[in-house]
Amino acid sequence: MAKTKTTFFCQNCGSQYAKWLGQCSSCNEWNTIVEEVIQKEEKRSWKQNNAPKKAAKALKIDNIVLNEEDRIHTQNNELNRVLGGGIVRGSLILLGGEPGIGKSTLSLQVALAIEKNVLYVSGEESQSQIKMRAERLKNNNSNCHILTETKTQNIFKNLEEVQPDLVVIDSIQTLHTDSIEASPGSISQIRETTAELIKFAKETSTPILLIGHINKEGHIAGPKILEHMVDVVLQFEGDRNHTYRILRAQKNRFGSTAELGIYEMQSTGLREVDNPSEILISQKDESLSGTAISATLEGMRPLMIEVQALVSTAVYGTPQRSATGYDLKRLNMLLAVLEKRAGFRLGAKDVFLNITGGIKVDDPAIDLAVVSAILSSNEDDAIPQIFCFAAEIGLAGEIRPINRVEQRILEAEKLGFEKIFISKYNKLSKPFNGIEIVLISRIEELYDNLFA
């Protein structure tokens, strides 16, 4: 066994130092560097009796044979969409999210629904607790094995016996290995246990789903290199006061990172939402001022979302600007455009903006709906519920074209909207008979069509 060695790690970014420092030179955080004792073993493989491998040879790019990835269907359409078609064999998937958001529930649902041999490893719950959750989910997979263990060497022994097609680890912060002497959840333990799991996954072509905790800043706890080591990084988002959850891909080596999965948290688990537009638009009997519907895109999926705005006279000296689910800086920019280019006096008024459903949107195509909702609240005149909007607004007050506008128009037509406002600079390849298309180029034209 090698000699015991002491090193210093930054608990925020994972940078390594030979001595203690007050400030980390990588992330500039103070008092985050701690001392850890590392005891390296000569054999650090997940399988101790591995035979030495031959050195890899360099190949010309023309001589490399391209094989299609073998994917495992998870029986969960939303997860399959975000992953790009399923779980690729031999890949590592890191799932992060707030405490209580539903990470363990989603992972157990996948483990119970998939028609494969699955090993579910938990370092946080007992086997009886997992059994109780499985009964609540009303799903049963006789090939799902439950293991409560935190030591990686014992986990690998069970993996050799079970030989699963999918491994679920809940969570990576609870694991520890004998290769180093450090507490579970520390920077060095997370890095070392992940490296062992990656070696196992690549050598056996067994996919592993890792659940990761997040810190107070909203990032996955542990070293930043953890996200670089894995193949896919998924973020499970949502407001605990709302029932809807959103699954996003922050990194995906086997597919797009623009896709979106939406779930509804119920007492029996997470329900897939096939038509998100119905849940993102409020159901109301009468038209109210300050609301507008926008046609946006998340990956390949078109969504119809409701934008709510409230404009009122500022009670205090400084007007308030608040945005929920929308970029506050972009809201200030649109208010400045309305003031400077269109002549609307909003500088002395409070403006509050909300994207319904508890989701966050960064698509610039909702600019026109944001401006329409603000003008509607300012005029106290409701926009008809059969109108929707899809365009970007520039600093000169012009209505700019957006991409894939025909897909947005088709979604609006399918949901029963009768009129959609887009930029006149968008080129349409075919006519639309089921919905009226209004082409505008300036904010003044928008105001004339809605409130004149």
Which residues line the annotated binding site for ATP?
Answer: 97-104
Nearest to 293 by CA among 111, 415, 451, 170: 415
| Identity at 211, one-letter amino acid code | I
Tell me the C-alpha distance between 392 and 401, whole Å. 6
Tell me the C-alpha distance between 293 and 283, whole Å. 12
Token code pair at residue 231: 């193949």
Nearest to 301 by CA among 261, 357, 263, 272: 261
Tell me the C-alpha distance between 146 and 138, whole Å. 17
The residues near 384 (Cβ < 8 Å, ≥ 6 apart) are 287, 419
The residues near 225 (Cβ < 8 Å, ≥ 6 apart) are 14, 191
Known binding-site positions: 97-104
Token code pair at residue 283: 């159901």
| Identity at 310, one-letter amino acid code | L
Length of the chain: 452
Query: With contact defined as beta carbons under 8 Å apart, do 286 and 300 qualify?
Result: no
Which contacts of 27-34 are long-range, i.e. CB under 8 A and separated by 24 or more positions?
A: 33/8, 33/9, 34/8, 34/9
Tell me the C-alpha distance between 397 and 336, whole Å. 10
DSSP conformation letters of 47-105: STTPPPPPPP----GGG-------EE--S-HHHHHHHTSSEETT-EEEEEE-TTSSHHH
Compute and round to an integer the Cα radius of gyration of the chain: 26
Phi, psi for 198 (deg, rounded to 5): -65, -45
